Structure 1
Amino acid sequence: MTDHTHSVVVPPAASPLKRAIGVAGLALVTGTMSAAALADHSVKLGLMLPYSGTYAALGESITNGLKLAIDQEGGSLGSHQVEYVELDSEADPSKAPQNMSRLVKGEGVDVVIGPVHSGVAMGMLRVAKQTGAITIIPNAGLEAATNQLCMPNVFRTSFSMWQNAYPMGQVVYDQGHRKVVTITWDYAGGKEDLAGFEQAFSEAGGEIIQQILVPFPSTEFQTYLAQIASLEPDAVYTFFAGGGGVSFVRDYAAAGLNTSIPLFGSGFLTDGNLAALGDAANGVQTTMHYAETLDTPQNEAFVSAYQEAYGEAPDTYAVQGFDAGKMLSAAYTSLDGEADREALIAALEAVELDSPRGPVSFSASHHPIQNVYLREVKDGEHHVSAIASEQLEVPDSGCSMKG
């Protein structure tokens, strides 16, 4: 792959800032980026993603997807070459405001892409509101980002916890289950996810006989699995992710529950975990806005290009980064260099993507309107069995941008 871009890695937050605020950066901070600023300088993309620690693999996947999309456009966004400024967020919410300020004020980036962690997003959004910095969220699923905290300069190419969970409520009911236990960690993301499922399942006529909240980030599940067995539900719905997802699915199978009580979950239960889960995941059904096995020309081309570029198959995180790149490319190309910051925001709002995940457009609150798929794990792959919800738009009644 030809590299038409230049990357700068920002030193750790403890280091003093050495770069003065550039003209383009100052223009962005004050919200008055001129047509000349857009036309005469390379576009600087500030990547505020985790490159170390637990979430490093997610940050790398998003970065790889983003760069692949832009490389496919010749390394340019419209008529502008691209410079990447990469900053390790460390998935640390306490450092988020400082890190965001360093990118916007210190490095003068034109667009910030990040984060992975919802706690980090809260700190980023405070600075985005203060500065007007154009921000694209390629993962963090906190509902407030495109609802109560929505703002004209913030977009999302990922999901909300509700969006992936809500469709599963009807699926579980339609499969004949009437009494369900739900279980997740006792933290905001997990509880938002369960709320989406529980809303739809209850609306359909089902009953949540027990909601179990596990102290975060504990992965000691035996006591809870014994409780589930004693309750004898028709099915279990869960949100766990990463190592927690691996432990829960393995322990669920080891306890023999998978043979008598079907397991359902948000797609993050198994996404990125299939190799570690092995046979324990067979039969687990999840809802998610992407599956690597989607049988479309767009996804086949994406999977092939990603594998050629990086030597591994893409995941949901890579698609979210890829679509951030394609979104920026479409917007900058439509402007042809003759626009101010407000026009760039308007161009981003108008983007419609023919994505590997399916058609994607953006709601008035800048959240993706997208398909959510029902997937079942078979032989180490996510097999798409249906579209659980077509072109699902999230509730955003708290967003002040709505007309």
Structure 2
Amino acid sequence: MAKLTIDKNLNTDNTYSRRQASLSSRRPGPLARSLQAATLALAGAALSTQALAEHDVKLGLMLPYSGTYAALGESITNGLKLAIEQEGGSLGGHGVEYVTLDSEANPSKAPQNMSRLVKGDGVDVVIGPVHSGVAMGMLRVAKQTGAITIIPNAGLEAATNQLCMPNVFRTSFSMWQNSYPMGQVAYDQGHRKIVTITWDYAGGKEDLAGFEQAFTDAGGEIVEQILVPFPSTEFQTYLAQIASIAPDAVYTFFAGGGGVGFVRDYAAAGLNDSIPLYGSGFLTDGNLGALGEAANGVQTTMHYAETLDTPQNQAFVSAYQEAYGEAPDTYAVQGYDAGKLLAQAYASIDGEPDREALIAALEAVELDSPRGPVSFSASHHPIQNVYLREVRDGEHHVTSIASEQLEVPDSACPMKS
């Protein structure tokens, strides 16, 4: 069964540790271990299969458990552990040991932290990160060591394109994948001249690029692209600029506190009455309570919505609420699918789950996920639905599938050459 190892960098006094410890089981006691050892010694090679099953799988969780992104790290971890608990707390008959390390969402520490998990703790699989800058450092170590890595959030395009590698998989998204479908949606809804706005950093620019590509290919015009210094949340000057341009609509990428501030300020300026607001799903995800009525009518595209009306999602939402006392979000689904990806892969392996066997098994997995059907491309990126959602009465209501089983551009992936 699963057991929890807390890295010394992790604050064990926080809510995460108390909740997660309750979902983990303990190591076998000394008597149980001695009996196991005696049995194996007597049985020898005839019990090699049993010996294999008693070899724990060590999962290294390199996620933020402090700072701005701590809630995201907790949601991903919750989803991951729920998925594995639903498999009896094991992966292909192997017990599971969790080694958690607080990434602090700090890119400068990423190579050292990744090396610590892989070389120091000897984990079998690394799950992380949230932050795309941290992912860059992790990918360098993954390439050097061959460590199997599952990315449950960071949306940088390069991870499953220019920097793709056989041992790296993603259960989340790319910035392009969530924004590209909205370009066609906005055009189909009658808009021809649009202003785009985001922070001046790589993630925001990648998101805008997807929307702008689809919108201009459809025949629309980007009349202005506004880049706000990161991580400023002072938007009044830019809102005045938008009002003076008077476009047909605005498309934006902001997240977290920036998303809350922008949507609130947009509504307070009265722009939502005359200039519809569109965005990537992260504009409103996790923020609906803070946004209140200011978010009503905002349309976003995303690979998940908590109100998705499918048996798989209803079962997931119910199980998550029972385990953690709150509704799941997109981050929880991404962690959950990382757990189910591992569970299916380990269960399919005949014999010892060495690195090559596990990679081959992971590549073959198809998930019947709460978000809908998910398979993996040659670059190990999820092929998945992207939904059009509208905020009404504090909920994301799915109005359509904006793009069905969307694949990402990955022609620069070395595995495809």
TM-score normalized by the length of structure 2: 0.90
> What letter is aligned with 2:172?
S
Match of 2:90 in 1: 76
Task: Give the corresponding residue for 1:100.
Answer: 114
Unaligned runs of 5+ in 2: 11-48
Residue 19 of structure 2 corresponds to residue 5 of structure 1? no
Residue aligning to 2:159: 145
1:399 matched to 2:413? The reply is: yes
Structure 2 CA distance, aligned partners of 1:337 and 1:314?
35
Which of 57, 64, 67 aligns to 2:71? It is 57
Aligned equivalent of 1:283, options 280, 297, 304: 297
- Kept in 2, the 8 Å contact 1:39–1:337? The answer is no
AA of the residue aligned to 1:147: N
How far, CA to CA, are the matches of 2:140 and 2:356 in structure 1?
A: 20
- Matched position secondary structure for 2:252: strand
Q: Residues 36 and 363 of structure 1: is their aligned pair in 2 closer, same or farther, counting only changes over 3 Å?
A: farther
SS state at 1:401 partner:
helix
Which whole-Å deviations, capped at 9, do the CAs of 1:271-290 have from their partners, x for residues lacking one? 00000000000000000000
Shift of 1:10: 1.1
Q: 1:267, 1:326 → 2: CA distance?
A: 23
Q: Determine whether 1:272 maps to 2:286.
A: yes
2:332 is aligned to 318
Displacement of 1:402 in angstroms is 1.1
Preserved contact between residue 53 and residue 95 of structure 2 (Cα < 8 Å): no
Query: Residue 260 and residue 311 in structure 1: after superposition, are their counterparts in 2 closer, same or farther (change >3 A)?
Result: same
Shift of 1:337: 4.1
**Does residue 382 in structure 1 map to residue 379 in structure 2?**
no
1:79-90 alignment, distance < 5 Å: 79-90=93-104
> 1:11, CA displacement in angstroms?
1.5
Measured in 1, the distance between the counterparts of 2:53 and 2:308 equals: 38
CA displacement 1:186-211 (0-9 Å, x = unmatched): 00000000000000000000000000
Counterpart in the other structure of 1:180 = 194
Which one of 247, 260, 263 corresponds to residue 249 of structure 1? 263
User: What residue identity is the alignment partner of 1:10?
Assistant: D
Once residues 324 and 71 of structure 2 are traced to their aligned partners in structure 1, the CA distance between those partners, rounded to angstroms, is 13
Pick aligned residue for 1:239 from 236, 249, 253: 253
**Structure 1 partner of 2:233:** 219
Instruction: Give matches, 1:145-164, under 5 Å.
Output: 145-164=159-178
Aligned letter for 2:212?
E
Correspondence for 1:195: 209
Query: Cα deviations across residues 83-106 of structure 1 (Å, max 9, x unaligned)?
Result: 000000000000000000000000
Cα deviation, 1:308-339, whole Å, max 9, x if unaligned, reads 00000000000000000000000000014434
In the aligned structure 2, how far is the partner of 1:154 from the partner of 1:37?
A: 28
- Residue identity over aligned pairs, in percent, reads 87
3-state SS of the aligned residue for 1:61?
Answer: helix
Q: Distance in 2 between matches of 1:37 and 1:114?
A: 29
2:129 to 109, 115, 140: 115
1:136 aligns with 2:133: no
Give the whole-Å Cα distance in 2 for the aligned partners of 1:282 and 1:197.
22
Distance across 2 between alignment mates of 1:36 and 1:147: 40
Over alpha carbons, which structure has the higher Rg?
Answer: 2
The one-character-per-residue Cα deviations of 1:148-180 (angstroms, maximum 9, x if unpaired) are 000000000000000000000000000000000
Q: Deviations over 1:41-99 (max 9, x none)?
A: 10000000000000000000000000000000000001101000000000000000000
Higher mean C-alpha displacement, 335-344 vs 359-368: 335-344
Cα distance in 2, alignment partners of residues 276 and 385 from structure 1: 23
Report runs of 4+ in structure 1 exceeding 4 Å deviation. 35-40
State the 1:9 CA deviation. Answer: 1.1
Structure 1 position 12, deviation (Å): 2.4
Report the AA paired with residue 218 of structure 2.
A
TM-score by length of 1: 0.93
Give the distance between the partners of 1:245 and 1:376, measured in 2 at CA.
15
For the 8 Å contact 2:264–2:295, the answer to whether it is kept is yes
- Is residue 387 of structure 2 the alignment partner of residue 373 of structure 1? yes
Determine the C-alpha separation between the residues in 2 that align with 1:337 and 1:85: 25
CA contact (8 A) 2:346 2:353 kept: no
Which range moved further: 383-392 or 334-343?
334-343
CA separation of 1:38/1:185 partners in 2, compared to 1, >3 Å: closer, same or farther? farther
Letter in 2 for 1:264: Y
Counterparts of 2:249 and 2:334, CA distance in 1: 30
| Contact in 2 for aligned 1:46/1:111 (Cα 8 Å) | yes
Say which of 332, 340, 353 aligns to 2:354.
340
- Give, as a single letter, the amino acid of the residue that structure 2 aligns with 1:55: Y
SS at match of 2:217: helix
Instruction: Give the superposed CA RMSD.
Output: 1.4
Q: Is the 8 A contact 2:162 2:413 kept in 1?
A: yes
The residue aligned with 1:32 is none
Counterpart Cα distance in 2 of 1:37 and 1:365:
34
1:341 Cα deviation after fit: 1.2
The aligned amino acid for 1:6 is: K
Q: CA deviation at 1:118?
A: 0.1
Contact 1:39–1:338 (8 Å) recurs in 2:
no
AA of the residue aligned to 1:130: Q
Going from structure 1 to structure 2, the CA distance change for 1:39 and 1:129 (only over 3 Å counts) comes to farther
Deviates more, 1:338-347 or 1:77-86: 338-347
Select the structure with the greater relative contact order (CA < 8 A; seq sep ≥ 6). 1
